[in-house]
Structures are given as structure tokens and as C-alpha cells.
Amino acid sequence: MENNDVLGSSTAPLTWHDFLQRMRDPSAADFVKGIKSFIVSFLNNAPDAEKDSAAVQEFLGNMETAFRAHSLWAGCSEEELESAGEGLEKYVMTKLFTRTFASFPEDVKVDEQLHEKIALIQQFVRPENLDIKPVFENESSWLLAQKELQKINMYRAPRDKLVCILNCCKVINNLLTSVSANENPPGADDFLPVLIYVTIKANPPQLHSNLLYIQRFRRQTRLVSEAAYFFTNILSAESFILNIDAKALSMDDTEFETNMESARALLAGLSDDNNVLGQSDQKFGPVPGSDTYEAKLSFRSNRPQSPATLPKFSVASTETKSKNEDPYVKSQSSMEKIPSLSDLENRGAGMLMKEDSVSQVFQSFPYLYSQAGDLTVGDVEELLTNYKHLVFKYVCLAKGSGIGNPSPPLPNNQGQSQLPESEITTESKATSAGEPNDEMQKDGPEDSSSVLSQSLESDESKLKENEVVSGRGEEGSEVLQI
């Protein structure tokens, strides 16, 4: 298998299911015994980052060598053998996750410092502060990359976490490439600043621990080529953010400190408001319109908010209302001012980030999942990129305007007929009776032109994967159960 397809084995159908099926074979009894023995022994040892990593890497290597010599894999292709290794890594690390992830106080401390620092910086950082070229600036499209990175804590296996990073990086790389299609291709000097900006805006919790987890427990022979390149970039982004200062953001010291203090005051005020509003809601009950405000506030600050979050003036105004006035009506009317297009887009984007089934929102747009070769018009790269940008902005505006199910100006049957068969949503497949959950296929990074479809998959499929990870899936497993 070539290095440029280091994750190809994980995108093959039935990877996870096939591994468990082989482990149920009576001839795999020694493998099962060895795996369980290693897990028990590992859990009984005191945590040590270097020793833990070395032990896992050695065990995975020895087991994969044994797989190749066993009759269960006789006549199998290289891809099937690689898939067996992926399945083994996923199983072992899922069982060891609570013992190996964020298990050292110093790592947890860095997580907290990094998350808090990003929360402050994201309040005032702008693309120009990171020397991002204006031609590459596209906040709406960068939201797709942010969403991919924010998925990283949904998974336990090192590869699955790595895929979230790779998808984020591929979205960025595709956008940069498409914008500069007629010029020199973007290099690391163009890519890294955008990745830093996206990481700041996404601010995924426990980023430091996630990166260390991948470094320590992702099979080293597979962390190569493109995967290694993008992973190195996210490590560089983390290091840059941890050490960020006025000079790094092209600011003078006074401006930087002023911005940081303002951000601290803002976040402290939001925290205080949440406490006050929580007490107010206990007295008055929930106020209409709070969900809308929460979505907008969450999009702005990326901090967990109370389900009843309201503007501060709404609470204060209720204290001075006359007895004949309905406080809810006045409070709601004060929030229903005519928003600008920018406000609508931001509100819709925030709602979209929290959507349960994002793929259903975009399903009716036929060319969103297309590759350049599927189109016959001239300058297809520019057309396809512009179309994707337009769709995302349209859906954000529609959501912000209160349209529940936005649809394109094409008949649904026409749009549906143009969807490639391979891009039919995973959700419908996963719910078909008798079909296995091909969740590792779903998670694998696709080629650069189809990665956007990866970022818009349904949460139902994600839940099915989590069921396998936590042990609620794979009914009938009698040998290896998670």
C-alpha cells in the first residue's frame, strides 16, 4: 500500500465489522486471549507516557505480524491486512481510552490554559492579524473546517480523531487551491495561518490532549505522508497559539493587552449574566426567543450557555414594567428588530453548527457533492467552488430567517436525479434492516474534491458509531465485546 493512501484501509467497507467477525472465529482464540491479556496488564500498570506509548506500539506491531502469518488472513490483500491492523488499534485503544487520554495532570493543565487563551483571542483576532491574504478570506466556508475539527472529541480511536484533523485541513487546502487555481498553488505560508485562524475559531476542548493521544497511540507506520504533513501543521498551530503575543498578531503591546483585558471582561460578564439570568428564570420561567439568542451568543463566543440565556437588558427591564404590561411581549419585541443580512447569516451559521442532521439540510443541492470531472461547463473548478460557497451562505441566511427546510430553486426530483449514487447519505443506509454499520468507511478522509460531503454527514450515523465504540452495537458478539 502506498503512503499516499495511509488511511485507505480504514475507508474499505466492513473494516470494523470484518475485524470483529474474524475474532469470533475459533481459530482466533489465541489472538483474543493475547489482546485481553495485554489490556489487563496495561491497565494494571502505573501511567507513564513514554512507556505506555512504546507498549502499545510494540503490541500492535507484533499482532499485525501475527495476523499476516495466520490462516484467517491467508490469501488476503494488503488492504485487508491493513484493515485488520486498523480494527485492532481501534479495539485496543477504545478499551484503554479512559486510562490513556488526558491522564496526566500536566496535560490537563495545558488543555485548560490553551482553551482559555483561545477563548480570549477569538474575541478580537481577525484574518489580517495572521497575515492571511484577503483573497483567501472566506469566513462562511471556514465554518465547515471548524465543524470538522470540533468533532474530534466525539471519537475514541486515534485514527478517528486524526480523521477529524485531516478533514479540517483538507477543507482549508481545497478552498485555498480553488481560489488560487489560476495563480501559483498555495504553500505552507498560506495554509498554516488559515489553519491557526480556524483552530482559534473552533476552540475544540482538550486539543492538547487529543494531539498527544494521536502522537502516542496512532500506529506510527500509518502516521506518514499526507497524514503526517497535516498533523505536523496542527501541532505547529497549537504551538503558535500557546505562545501567541502582540508581535505574532501584528499588534503593539498596548493594543494586545487592551484587547485581552476587554475579552476577559466580556467573558466574565457573560458568565455573570448567565448566573443572574438563571436565577431570574427560576422566578419568572423561560422567556420566548431565548433559543435564538443562545445560538447567536454561542456562535460568537463558543462557550457553553444556559438554555435560557437572554440579553441583560431583558431582565432589567422586567423590574420596571407596569402591572398592565406583558413583560414577555415587550422583551420579545425588543429582540425582534429587523436584522441585517450579516446578522441573519451569522445567526443561521450558529444554528447550523448545532443542527442534528446537517446532511439533510444540504441534501437537495445536487452539485455540492460533485467532483470537477462531473461537470461539463468551462472553468469547472471556479464554478464548483462558487456554488458551494453560495449554498452554504444561502442555508445560513435561510436558517437565520426562520426557514425550517431551505431548498434550491430547482425541482426536488431534478436535483435528486443528479446526485451521484455513491453520495447517497449514510443515514438512509445505516437504518436499512440487516445492514452492518460501516462507520469506519464513513470516517475515512476522501479525496480533496469530496471531503465536503464528509463534513455534512448525519448525526444518526455518528450515533451508530458511538454505539459500537461504547459497546451498545454489534449484538451477538461473544468473543470480543466493547
Of the given ranges (163-172, 218-227, 282-291), which has the lowest mean pLDDT? 282-291
The reported pLDDT for the residue numbered 269 is 76
Q: Are 222 and 6 in contact (CB under 8 A)?
A: yes
Q: Are 140 and 396 in contact (CB under 8 A)?
A: yes
- Domains of the chain in start order, with CATH, are 105-249 (1.20.1050.80), 253-335 (no CATH), 364-424 (no CATH)
Please, what is the end-to-end C-alpha distance for the chain in angstroms? Answer: 29
Provide the 3-class DSSP secondary structure of residue 251. coil
Alpha carbons 305 and 297: distance in angstroms, whole number: 8
The answer to whether residue 109 scores a pLDDT higher than 60 is: yes
Alpha carbons 298 and 307: distance in angstroms, whole number: 11
The reported pLDDT for the residue numbered 236 is 97
Of the given ranges (68-72, 311-315, 388-392), which has the lowest mean pLDDT? 311-315
Alpha carbons 40 and 21: distance in angstroms, whole number: 22
The reported pLDDT for the residue numbered 337 is 52
Instruction: Give the Å distances, CA to CA, from 81 to 5, 63, 156, 212.
Output: 14, 11, 22, 27
* pTM for the structure as a whole: 0.61
Q: What angle do helix axes 253-284 and 105-121 make, rounded to 10 degrees?
A: 100
The reported pLDDT for the residue numbered 292 is 40
DSSP string, 418-478: TS-GGGS-HHHHHTSTT----HHHHHS---TTTHHHHTT--HHHHHHHHHHHHTSSSTT--
User: Which of 402 and 179 is assigned the larger pLDDT?
Assistant: 179
The answer to whether residue 312 scores a pLDDT higher than 50 is: no
User: Which of 459 and 394 is assigned the larger pLDDT?
Assistant: 394
User: Cα 201 vs. chain centroid, distance in angstroms?
Assistant: 12
pLDDT digits (tens, 9 = 90+) for 213-268: 999 999 999 999 999 999 999 999 999 999 999 999 999 999 999 999 999 998 88
Q: Mean of the pLDDT values across residues 304-331?
A: 39
Percent of the chain scoring above 70 in pLDDT: 55
pLDDT digits (tens, 9 = 90+) for 122-145: 999 999 999 998 888 887 778 999
Instruction: Give the Å distances, CA to CA, from 198 to 144, 333, 393.
Output: 10, 35, 18
The answer to whether residue 470 scores a pLDDT higher than 60 is: no
The answer to whether residue 37 scores a pLDDT higher than 90 is: yes
Q: Can you read off the three cell numbers belonging to residue 379?
A: 472553468
Alpha carbons 7 and 219: distance in angstroms, whole number: 11
The answer to whether residue 104 scores a pLDDT higher than 90 is: yes
Question: Residues 301-307: contacts with CB within 8 Å, 24+ apart?
Answer: 301/119, 301/122, 301/123, 301/266, 301/267, 301/270, 302/119, 302/122, 302/201, 302/202, 302/203, 303/119, 303/267, 303/270, 305/270, 305/274, 306/274, 306/277, 306/278, 306/281
The reported pLDDT for the residue numbered 340 is 57
Alpha carbons 49 and 215: distance in angstroms, whole number: 11
User: Which of 45 and 368 is assigned the larger pLDDT?
Assistant: 45
Please name the amino acid found at residue 54: A
Q: Mean of the pLDDT values across residues 272-295?
A: 49
